[in-house]
Amino acid sequence: MELKGSVAVVTGGASGLGEACVRDLVSHGVRVAILDLSEDRGRNLASELPGACFFQKTDVTDENSVKSAIGATIERFLSIHIAVNCAGVATPAKVLGRRGVMTIESFVQVLNINLIGTMNIIRLAAEQMMKNKPNNDSEIGVMINTASDAAFEGQVGQAAYSASKAGVVGMTLPIAREFADYGIRNVTIAPGIFDTPMIGGMSDAVRQSLIATCVFPKRMGYPSEFAMLVRQIIENPMLNGATIRLDGALRMAPK
């Protein structure tokens, strides 16, 4: 899909991987709706990129909130060609922890944000993409989702997180197959350890232990590298139905 002139919605777009995607897409001529709960960060980012993007406070777990965000995007930019799902949480919790058994509420919360939230965007963005004029490849839209290495090698304390991300991986191909009839591609990225605010909140000791598990390059990934892959997926029509590991050959240890 041609980047210049396209319209994208990016969830979790106010920080981390999402922010990097917003900046990269705007720099390549894409108009972007920043969907996030963080109003200050979202509005500040939009003010840095006037005219090219706007911020819409969005709770991806809430259908009405997502509908409002999609509607605001259509009102502002008239169409949606690209949806990038970066909103997510990685709240750790053991099933049998020191403070007792995991609450089912904490498990459901992670699934609601990471998995249900992703589906909310996919289904409601796809509904709008159906109105787009096909390009020369009969393509009308691109969905890009964020999983994690934890979908494949979940660590101790990641039962909820791994389940949510494995769900994103699991629905990638079925959705791609379904959407093929309409000309919408669906691709998932499974990043390893990236230098984001989520990692930034960890102690130096934990950060160094994570870096020690990296194979090559021997460092955390940069959010700009994630954004680069998002852009390459958009531009390459043969990328579809796949989950791409972006992890420098990292394989997560048990803990």
Q: Catalytic site residues?
A: 161
> Which tokens hold the place of 53?
């993007």
Token code pair at residue 104: 């089912």
CA distances in angstroms from 163 to 23, 57, 108, 153, 154, listed in the order given: 30, 27, 10, 11, 9
**Interacting residues of 150 by C-beta distance below 8 A, sequence separation 6+:** 90, 158, 161, 162, 165, 252
Tokens coding 183: 């000309």
Q: Which helix (H) or strand (E) holds 206?
A: helix 204-212
Instruction: Please report, for the chain, how many H helices and E strands are present, in that order.
Output: 9, 9
